[in-house]
Structure 1
Amino acid sequence: EFTDKDEPLDYCHGSIYLVLEYLEHDLTGLIDRQHPFDDTEIKSLMKQLLDVMAYMHAIDIIHRDIKCSNLLMTRDHLLKVADFGLARSLRGDQLFTNKVVTLWYRPPELLLGATSYDASIDMWSIGCVFAELYIGHPIFQGKTELEQITKIFDICGTPTTESWPDYKFLPHSSSFVPEKPKPKRLREYLMRETTARKRILPKGAIELMEALLVLDPEQRPTASDCLSSQYFKARPFAPSDPTKLPSISNLPPSHEYQTKKIRREQAKQLNGGAGAGRASRPTSPPGASSGGRSRPAATGKDAAEVTVKTEIKREEDSRSPSGPPSSSKKKRRVA
């Protein structure tokens, strides 16, 4: 509804408010409550997510903050992607800030300082979500950018000129990439973590995770590639209608902010009111939409992220005719 600003009952002062439907869960809330996702449910969620991203990327829109708490789900297993506060169009020729994507889901090229990137950054985040649904926790949990890239290298190995030819051209490659190489052990890590949870990964799952979590963004599959992978061709198949899956209407609403509140209250009881609990998940970088609810401050966030608002303002200015001139460096387009 649009109102004239001169109307006496105008309380919004020209702002537009969108009220969307309520979805009972987000994936972080369900994971924190140890909801037992089965193989069919995970495949259905991944298919829905990849369908959304294939559409977005086809029209040159990147999300830039894919994570479990931004993936909402109804009690009937319908998934919706939320929080487009950091989304950008790839059309035109401009550089972007690398202070995007919540730290635990941020791809290595951004951690190494890339400002020219494409939809492959979303695909890395999708790989992190995919792994998290199976292992029950975020796969890479750093408190700073340096610790985050170190954890990635510990599992995915360090880059070489053969595995990632362009990595040495990134600003932080000389300071963040260790001299002593580390081997890739992603497959072994996933097998160990799922075995500990008494799970067996279905056919094609590890191969798809390995493809999504490859260091070189040029080698990551597109969302459409993923939908054509062996994972979706093997049993159990993703249902064409997710609402046919068994309803989880018996579960109370499960959202990240609710489970954080529960953990804080439990920590206070355990510590006699002292309050300290286990480390919180990092929040979206400043500048992202919060979906209308307040977000607790992130703990252990890298000091560099204090500058994110300035970075995003500079990014927006660079797209404006009156803003600073854009760099001549060309960015890659979505394949």
Structure 2
Amino acid sequence: MSLNIKLTICLCALQYFLYQILRGLKYIHSANVLHRDLKPSNLLLNANCDLKICDFGLARVTSESDFMTEYVVTRWYRPPELLLNSSDYTAAIDVWSVGCIFMELMDRKPLFPGRDHVHQLRLLMELIGTPSEAELEFLNENAKRYIRQLPLYRRESFTEKFPNVHPLAIDLVEKMLTFDPRQRITGEFVADY
């Protein structure tokens, strides 16, 4: 016999989960460490709703002089700079991943379930829109050329696409999911949001 149980998570619990993820991320980043693989399966939750970040196998101390590999972060939670093979990235990659996780918790399905990196990039551009020339400045010329040859996408309204998500949550996620990592809200600021 199969028993289906529908789990309903209240908004206050989701806020508490996000708070714990961000506090953990703030601590990790304060040690100049990037997690580089934040995803739901790397978040542990006990019966008391205590959340722990796990699997630091791809974590790395940040360094301005060391080369950083771009093939990190599970595809569905990978930010545009990594999809475009940037090896010059910051803690903003973890913030993008948290934005994807938080929206997945609220909407009950993955935000960008790409089949491959090309499909992944298309899905995120369909939602956040084609970046402006100013938003492309951080990319190398090959990545810029690639983006310029793609179809133009208008930014979708998050509030229309996700009508059941609280407006304050939408506002926060929009700040976490910006194309240009230099414009993305920082983990420290989000934790205090």
Greater relative contact order structure (CA < 8 Å, 6+ sep): 1
Paired position in structure 2 for 1:130: 102
From 199, 202, 210, give the equivalent of 2:174. 210
The one-letter code sitting in structure 2 at the alignment partner of 1:101 is: V
Q: Which moved more, 1:214-223 or 1:176-185?
A: 176-185
Paired position in structure 2 for 1:6: none
Structure 1 position 148 matched with structure 2 position 120: yes
Spell out, residue by residue over 1:233-269, the C-alpha distance to the aligned partner (whole angstroms, 9 max, x if none).
xxxxxxxxxxxxxxxxxxxxxxxxxxxxxxxxxxxxx
Spell out, residue by residue over 1:201-248, the C-alpha distance to the aligned partner (whole angstroms, 9 max, x if none).
33521110000001100011112201222xxxxxxxxxxxxxxxxxxx
Compared CA separation, residues 57 and 110, structure 1 to 2 (3 A): same
Measure, in 1, the Cα distance between the counterparts of 2:169 and 2:32: 27
The one-letter code sitting in structure 1 at the alignment partner of 2:60 is: R
Q: Which moved more, 1:37-46 or 1:171-180?
A: 171-180
Verify the 8 A CA contact 1:63 1:87 in the aligned structure 2.
yes
Measure, in 2, the Cα distance between the counterparts of 1:58 and 1:123: 14
Greater percentage in helix:
2
Spell out, residue by residue over 1:153-209, the C-alpha distance to the aligned partner (whole angstroms, 9 max, x if none).
1111011113x14155254332345444211115145424x3xxxxxx335211100
Structure 1 position 185 matched with structure 2 position 149: no
Verify the 8 A CA contact 2:159 2:170 in the aligned structure 1.
no
Question: Percent identity of the aligned residues?
Answer: 32
Measure, in 1, the Cα distance between the counterparts of 2:64 and 2:139: 26
Query: Which ranges in structure 1 are unaligned for 5 or more consecutive residues?
Result: 1-32, 195-200, 230-335
From the CA coordinates, give the structure whose radius of gyration is larger: 1
Query: Which ranges in structure 2 are unaligned for 5 or more consecutive residues?
Result: none
Structure 1 vs Structure 2 CA RMSD: 1.8
Paired position in structure 2 for 1:175: 146
Spell out, residue by residue over 1:8-47, the C-alpha distance to the aligned partner (whole angstroms, 9 max, x if none).
xxxxxxxxxxxxxxxxxxxxxxxxx752111110000000
Measure, in 1, the Cα distance between the counterparts of 2:160 and 2:6: 20
The one-letter code sitting in structure 2 at the alignment partner of 1:71 is: L
Measure, in 2, the Cα distance between the counterparts of 1:76 and 1:190: 32
Compared CA separation, residues 129 and 177, structure 1 to 2 (3 A): farther
What SS does the corresponding residue of 1:80 show, helix, strand or coil? strand
TM-score (norm 2): 0.91
Spell out, residue by residue over 1:48-98, the C-alpha distance to the aligned partner (whole angstroms, 9 max, x if none).
000000111111000000001111100110000011000000035112111
Paired position in structure 2 for 1:90: 62
TM-score (norm 1): 0.54
The one-letter code sitting in structure 2 at the alignment partner of 1:96 is: M
The one-letter code sitting in structure 1 at the alignment partner of 2:168 is: G
1:309-320 equivalences in 2 (<5 Å) = none
Structure 1 position 223 matched with structure 2 position 176: no
